[in-house]
Amino acid sequence: MNRTVESGKTLLVDGPASVTAVSGKVEVFGSVLRSTRKVVIREGKRLPFAVKETAMFDISLGENASVEEADGNTIPSSWTKAYEELSSLQMRPLTAVVLGTVDSGKTSFCTYLINKLLSEKQRVAILDGDLGQSDVGPPCTIAYASVTKPVADLFNLEAKNAFFVGVTSPSKAIDKVMEGLASLRKEVTTDNPDIIVINTDGWVEGEDAINYKVQLVEQLDPDIVFCIQQKDELVPLLDTLEKFRRVSVDSPSTIRQRSREKRRSMRELGYIKCLRNAKVQSIPLSWLKIEANELTGLSITRENFGQASRIYELLGMKPLHFAELRDKVCIVIGKRRWINTDTIKKVEEITKKKVVVVRKGEEQGLLTALYDAERKFLGIGVLREIDYKRRVLKVYTPISKDISIVATGRVKLDKNLREIPVFAEEESTGFHNA
């Protein structure tokens, strides 16, 4: 479909769609589109094509995609001012943190800053700290990339390294998010960028969120903090960050809010992208270090255990796997096996530790991070099985080499890479900003 749009207007396209500006002058988030460039808009995303000189578009629309025209430029003037303030700062590397609630335009604002900086020949890196709606790395990770060409969607960048947090919401893993940000922040600096743009998750309202965000910003110690807000929802957070240079920017009014289901399906596109060409790899457990997770019952922190035979007697069976960890005992039993609560209590009395009983099969579907021996992140996979008898781990992943360390998250995917609940009780509680 062809469509002509006059200068001064903006074409808003809701994906899945692809758009080429065949003639005229068009900008997407601060970058000028070349006439040969086809821009793909994912499902759940909306892209604004700001027409600077009357343009002809070639548009292909997928299912449920739509196009509309808006008057003027939908990029708020406060974004332009924010960029001017950023570019006036001389320190290098310059670090900018972007804060905002879910669907406020954080990713788009980062994209806009990055494109503007690239047009000034700056060396730019993005550190993506939003694990629930990650743009750069796989879902449930923090990741960074250096950006050398203008981008319409940060999703198309290739991550240089990622840190697996293993959950979709920071409220469940604050320490891990901090650890990941600190370590990648250090690493990104060794690339010598002029500017590091740091995106964050959308958990910003309420006392816990404010405490977390303050801790996060203090740790990153940025030169400038951008706060995207519709009205004044970030004021309590801004007030507690008074020692930083803070700039408030507007959330574009043309943003389309996404439901929790939509956000989940956007994450699923992320799993699909990262698991393209995946196969089931079988790896002997003896080659691997497995980081603690009670759903696998396997752990690198296993200790010697002298009372095993007494406990097997109590259980009336030899479990598939038995491990005593620092703070608990993991017992893996067959799918149809059962241990009554009295027996569990007795084992707890003997060991003076909490007993976790895992049924074989419960590990199936766990989102898994794969690392090499130096703990460099290789990619993600989905755990298919731990075969305790043959001592083999089966994981669905495109990574075929160098896997030495495996860490499982608290997210489960079915065979179609759709998220399914891991622990039933977690579905109904907790903060959902992912």
Ligand X SMILES: Nc1ncnc2c1ncn2[C@@H]1O[C@H](COP(=O)(O)OP(=O)(O)OP(=O)(O)O)[C@@H](O)[C@H]1O
Residues that bind ligand X (CB under 6 A): 12, 45-48, 74-75, 100, 102-108, 130, 133, 202, 252, 254-256
Note whether 111 binds Mg ion by CB under 5 A: no
Task: Please identify which residue in the block is written with the tokens 């603690």.
Answer: 292
49 or 322: whose CB is closer to ligand X?
A: 49
Backbone angles phi, psi at 311, to 5 degrees: -70, -40
Torsion sign across C-alpha atoms 323, 329, 334, 338: positive
Task: Please identify which residue in the block is written with the tokens 């305790």.
Answer: 388
Cα 156 from chain centroid (whole Å): 14
Note whether 168 binds Mg ion by CB under 5 A: no
Binding residue for Mg ion, selected from 107, 111, 134, 408, defined by CB under 5 A: 107
Beta strand 195-199 pairing with 94-100: parallel
263 or 321: whose CB is closer to Mg ion?
A: 263
Minimum distance from residue 350 beta carbon to ligand X (Å): 48
107 or 251: whose CB is closer to Mg ion?
A: 107
102 or 370: whose CB is closer to ligand X?
A: 102
200 is in the binding site of which of ligand X, Mg ion, none (Cβ under 5 to 8 A by kind)?
none
Minimum distance from residue 12 beta carbon to ligand X (Å): 5
Minimum distance from residue 369 beta carbon to ligand X (Å): 21
102 is in the binding site of which of ligand X, Mg ion, none (Cβ under 5 to 8 A by kind)?
ligand X
75 or 399: whose CB is closer to ligand X?
A: 75
CA distance readout (Å), 38 to 11, 41, 145, 212? 15, 10, 22, 40
C-alpha 127/C-alpha 196 separation (Å) is: 7
In this structure, the number of other CB atoms found within 10 A of the CB of residue 6 comes to: 11
Q: Which residue lies nearest Mg ion, judged by its C-beta?
A: 107
296 is in the binding site of which of ligand X, Mg ion, none (Cβ under 5 to 8 A by kind)?
none
Note whether 368 binds Mg ion by CB under 5 A: no
259 or 341: whose CB is closer to ligand X?
A: 259
* SS3 assignment for 216-263: HHHHHCCCEEEEEECCCCCHHHHHHCCCCCEEEEECCCCCCCCCHHHH
Instruction: Give 417's DSSP letter.
Output: S
Binding residue for Mg ion, selected from 10, 73, 74, 133, defined by CB under 5 A: 133
Contact residues for Mg ion, defined by CB under 5 A: 106-107, 133
